[in-house]
Amino acid sequence: MNKLMTMRDAVAQFVPDGSSVVMGTALESLIPFSAGHEIIRQHKRDLTLVGPISDMLFDQLIGAGCVTKIIAAWVGNVSAGLAHNYRRACEQGIPHRIEVIDHSNFTISLALLAGGLGAPYIPTYSLLGSDLLKTNPTFKETASPFDGKTTLLVPALNPDVTILHVQRSDEEGNAHCWGNLGISEEAALASQRIIIVAEEIVPREIIVSDPNRVIAPSFKVCAVVHEPGGAHPSSVQGYYNRDHEFYHEYHRATRTLEGMGVWVNEWVMGVKNRAEYFQKLGEERWRNLQLKNHRNAAPVDYGY
Amino acid sequence: MEYSPQELMVAAAAREIHDGEVVFTGMRLPLIAFALAKNLHAPNAIGLFECGLMRDTPSPELLYTMGDPPNITGALWATRMVNVMGLLQQGCVDMGFIGGAELDRFGNLNTSYLGEPKSPSTKLPGSGGAADIASLSKRLVVIMAHEKRRLVEHVSYITSSGYGTGGDWRKRVGLLRGGPSAAITTLCVLRFDAETGEAFLRSYHPGQSVESVRAETGWDLRIASDACETLPPTEQELAIIHRYDPQGFWTH
């Protein structure tokens, strides 16, 4: 089935108000910024954002008023510092209060792994003694029935939708992703549905030529969006590098609430789609992020 | 020879990496410390990154984040986070670096909330992988700015466990191993007493003194009987740091 659609249609159909949405699953790379910006443009509300570290995407959605709950290990701006909108929401209730369920990177990955396994929970020795046990009421500390050792039970998470930015996909959502995977597989398997955002749409033959590189089962994919550059300012291995300065510009621009309003109007509300975003970014800036050299993997033989 | 406080901290951090060890070096100054150690005294160290990477060579370029493309090029393994964290939980990781906004006398770290979590005066980003590294690695090394408001008697929230309230606290709460072995600050290097878990001043950086460090510490800091000046970075160390961070993004 051909699942290709525009980002506007994918978000309108598959990210309803009140959804739980996983984004930024590869951590600092492959962040689906274009999907996040479309969510802001469509004024989605009451979202629960799920992720490990979100870099600055979660901060943008919080500042735009789309979010009521965060289930994550870290919300900030990795190379530039604190997240101003996250701070305003938690400290001053601006634009409104949000609920924070604290995780670590390991426990959020275990929660989604359990979800993907169809298991109720996974035990760990991490976080014992920490105050995350107080600010995540879903955790349970218990003695292991096997050896009596103290363990922390991390309950399964089954979010509504995971949005994955990938290098390439076919029209059905059979998608190839490479580089470090973070919690992409766990999140995709745990979610009810998956939106694939791809740099390139390729024929099915390309995908089945290398099934080890497929990120998730396509029968869970509800939409495939062809969005070259959709992860900017984050990087996509083999396609473009990280725009470090963009993170600093955002950090400086959003220090005040007024500054955040200006930034969102300029980079999100003021552009209709990703094509207009790139017009605004400018050709030279985009050219400077392109690969300086290629490192092709050796081909492998799947013959029999 | 001139050097910045960050360059001295990178050199001190690199010396915490021993040859042949498996280390977590996934943020800021430790990204450079790994490159430095690999080039000098720890050619066989293995770097693990929680985003899902393993390397036995430093990345070919300066990293702003562990997930930057140069860190993936030439990696020994690109995988899922749970695999890397699983190695950590098994006890395969010798040492991990983390940063902190607040550190207390027993090496507990807060990177989550200043003030009451329900209405914090400052919301900090949270754990990321720090609480896992603090819980599960064999040794922990903390890198942070040294100010009186940051080095406090008790952190208001424990994101990453140190020695809790001291003594055998880690064992009592169920942690299998580990605890802080050093805190490298902008002013000094703290170590932790093996029995009590309490921090003490091991060395003060050039230009500092026992008094100046104590003045910026929020509790009655104990001093090692042989406390001395921190070794400054050598010319060779500085040359490698400059090569790796020529613009001084992290180190100036």
CB contact under 8 A, A104 and B131: yes
Closest CA to B132 of B64, B81, B76: B81
- Position A175 scores a pLDDT of 98
- Which residues of chain B have a CB within 8 Å of the CB of A113? 82
Name the residue facing A113 among B82, B89, B175 (closest C-beta): B82
Catalytic residue (one of B7, B21, B50, B102) = B50
- Position A231 scores a pLDDT of 98
Residues with Cβ within 8 Å of B194's Cβ and at least 6 positions away in sequence, in order, are none
B-contacting residues of A 59-98, CB under 8 Å? 72-76, 78-79, 82-83, 86-87, 89-91
Domain boundaries, chain B: 5-244
**B-chain residue closest to A149, CA distance:** B174
In whole angstroms, give the CA distance from residue B103 to residue B115. Answer: 15
- Sign of the dihedral through C-alpha A296, A298, A299, A302: negative
- Position B27 scores a pLDDT of 81
The burial class, CB within 10 Å (0-12 / 13-18 / 19+), for B118 is: exposed
* Backbone torsion region of residue B166, taken as left when φ is above 0, otherwise alpha when ψ lies between -120 and 50, otherwise beta: left
- Position B28 scores a pLDDT of 85
- Position B26 scores a pLDDT of 77
Distance to chain A for B88, nearest Cα, Å: 10
Residue spans of alpha helices (H) in chain A: 7-14, 33-41, 57-63, 84-92, 105-117, 132-135, 184-190, 204-208, 244-253, 257-264, 274-281, 283-288
B-contacting residues of A 237-256, CB under 8 Å? 237, 241-242, 244
- Orientation of helix A244-253 relative to helix A257-264, angle to 10°: 130
Pull the structure tokens for residue A49. 């954002």
CB contact under 8 A, B124 and A82: yes
Q: How confident is the model at residue A152 (pLDDT cuts 50, 70, 90)?
A: very high
- Sign of the dihedral through C-alpha A12, A13, A15, A17: positive
Query: Residues A201, A2: contact at Cβ < 8 Å?
Result: no
Q: Report how far apart the first and last C-alpha atoms of chain A are (Å, whole number).
A: 28
In whole angstroms, give the CA distance from residue B190 to residue A90. Answer: 33
* Buried b or exposed e, range A104-128, using 16+ CB within 10 angstroms: bbbbbbbbbbbbbeeeebbbbbbbb
Closest CA to B178 of B169, B190, B187: B169
- Position A292 scores a pLDDT of 94
Residues with Cβ within 8 Å of A113's Cβ and at least 6 positions away in sequence, in order, are A122, A186, A190, B82
> What value of ipTM does the predicted structure carry?
0.97
- Position A68 scores a pLDDT of 98
pLDDT tens digits, residue range B114-156?
999 999 999 999 999 999 999 999 999 999 999 999 999 999 9
**A-chain residue closest to B164, CA distance:** A129
Residue spans of alpha helices (H) in B118-232: 130-136, 169-173, 210-215
Q: How confident is the model at residue A87 (pLDDT cuts 50, 70, 90)?
A: very high
User: Residue B16 catalytic?
Assistant: no
Pull the structure tokens for residue B142. 């903390």
A-B contacts at Cβ under 8 angstroms = 189
CB atoms within 10 A of CB A39: 28
Domain boundaries, chain A: 7-104+158-288
Pull the structure tokens for residue A243. 């725009």
- Residue B77 CA to its chain's centroid (Å): 23
- Position B1 scores a pLDDT of 79
In DSSP terms, A72 is beta-bridged to: A51, A102
Output the tens digit of pLDDT for each of chain B's 252 residues.
799 999 999 999 999 999 999 999 878 889 899 999 999 999 999 999 999 999 999 999 999 999 999 999 999 999 999 999 999 999 999 999 999 899 999 999 999 999 999 999 999 999 999 999 999 999 999 999 999 999 999 999 999 999 999 999 999 999 999 999 999 999 999 999 999 999 999 999 999 999 999 999 999 999 999 999 999 999 999 999 999 999 998 998
In whole angstroms, give the CA distance from residue A209 to residue A281. Answer: 36
pLDDT tens digits, residue range A238-250?
999 999 999 999 9
**CB contact A130 to B (< 8 Å):** yes
Name the residue facing B174 among A102, A128, A183 (closest C-beta): A128
Name the residue facing A104 among B66, B127, B169 (closest C-beta): B127
Distance to chain A for B208, nearest Cα, Å: 27
**CB contact A113 to B (< 8 Å):** yes
**CB contact A186 to B (< 8 Å):** yes
**CB contact A140 to B (< 8 Å):** no
The burial class, CB within 10 Å (0-12 / 13-18 / 19+), for B190 is: buried
Pairing between β-strand A193-201 and β-strand A161-169 as defined by DSSP bridges: parallel
CB contact under 8 A, B81 and A103: no
**CB contact A19 to B (< 8 Å):** no
Distance to chain A for B216, nearest Cα, Å: 23
According to the CATH classification, is domain B5-244 in 3.40.1080.10?
yes
Name the residue facing A27 among B51, B135, B160 (closest C-beta): B51
- Position A54 scores a pLDDT of 83
Please compute, for residue A17, the number of CA atoms within 13 A of its CA located in the half-sphere on the CB side. 6
**A-chain residue closest to B108, CA distance:** A130
- Position A208 scores a pLDDT of 98
Query: Residues A197, A35: contact at Cβ < 8 Å?
Result: yes
Homologous superfamily of A7-104+158-288 in CATH? Glutaconate Coenzyme A-transferase (3.40.1080.10)
Rounded mean pLDDT of A123-140? 98
In whole angstroms, give the CA distance from residue B137 to residue B178. Answer: 6
- Which residues of chain A have a CB within 8 Å of the CB of B174? 125, 128-129, 149-151
- Residue A240 Cα distances to A143, A248, A285, B10, B239, angstroms: 48, 18, 12, 29, 30
DSSP, res A268? I
Query: Residues A247, A78: contact at Cβ < 8 Å?
Result: yes
- Position A24 scores a pLDDT of 98
In whole angstroms, give the CA distance from residue B80 to residue A244. Answer: 24
- Sign of the dihedral through C-alpha B241, B243, B246, B249: negative
CB contact under 8 A, A181 and B73: no
Instruction: List the beta strands (DSSP E) in B20-136.
Output: 22-24, 46-49, 53-55, 77-78, 95-99, 102-104, 109-110, 113-114, 122-123
